[in-house]
Amino acid sequence: MAKGSLPSRLHHTAYVTRDMEATRKFYEDVLGLPLVATWCEKDMLFGAERTYIHCFFGLGDNSALAFFQFASPEDQDLFGPKIPSSPFNHIALNVDAETQQAMEERIAAAGIEEPRTYVLEHGYCRSVYVVDPNGMIVEFVLDLPEATERADEWRGKAHSELKRWLEGDYTNNNVYR
């Protein structure tokens, strides 16, 4: 692809919370993601004036996780969290080994235990999962060095593997499991 044809990085991903202070405590005090911006706003949105706060918690590449909370209970109900309780709906953040260990220690120190936190060894990566106060799952992913080295190989097979699976061939291709 030509330079500039892909986004350079995630700017932010946004969610709605019912309790901004509980969300702030979790992301800033427990996980250590700094609160880097707070916007208190009033806009004409979707046919009505809406008042809300929008808080950003920073990541290492200057992207952020962002959360909205509405002043009006009606707006909060309309736009509020509708996060399905499934481990397959989550946000995954890349970390190094030191950061992953620190996250595990911070989560344990906060008294968060199973089932609100768990570890999965995927073979190609190790993942630490934690459920935030909104019911959203946050994953901290540590890639296996070999997996990173083989990324081009898997990129080259991505379409053929998808096609094979969609055609009904569900053979496992995770060489690590």
What the block records as the tokens of 143 is 């890639």
Quick: pLDDT tens for 117-131. Answer: 999 998 888 999 999
Summarize pLDDT for 40-54 with one digit per residue, the tens.
Answer: 988 888 899 999 999
Does a structural domain hold residue 77? yes
**Residues 6 or more apart whose Cβ sits within 8 Å of residue 169:** none
Instruction: Report residue 75: phi and psi, to 5°.
Output: -65, -40
Residue 20 belongs to a domain: yes
Q: What is the CATH number of the domain that holds 34?
A: 3.10.180.10
Does this model's pTM top 0.95? My answer is no
**Cα-trace Rg, the chain:** 19
Number of independent structural domains in the chain: 1
- Tell whether 83 is covered by a domain: yes
Residue 152: pLDDT band with limits 50, 70, 90: confident
Structural domain includes residue 148? no
Q: How far apart are CA 75 and CA 9, in angstroms?
A: 30
Which residue range(s) make up the domain with 88? 12-143
Q: CA-to-CA distance for 177 and 174, rounded, in angstroms?
A: 6
CB 9 within 8 A of CB 61: yes
Residue 150 lies in a domain: no
Residue 82: pLDDT above 80?
no
pLDDT over 80 at 84, yes or no: no
In-domain check, residue 3 = no
Query: How far apart, in whole angstroms, are the C-alpha atoms of residue 176 and residue 26?
Result: 33
Tens digits of residue pLDDT in 134-148: 888 999 999 988 877
Other residues' Cβ atoms within 10 Å of the Cβ of residue 166: 8
Residue 23 maps to a domain: yes
As a whole number, mean pLDDT of residues 101-116 equals 95
Buried b (16+ CB within 10 A) or exposed e, 56-68: bbbbeeeebbbbb
Q: What angle do CA 165, 169, 175 make, to 5 degrees?
A: 80
**86 belongs to a structural domain:** yes
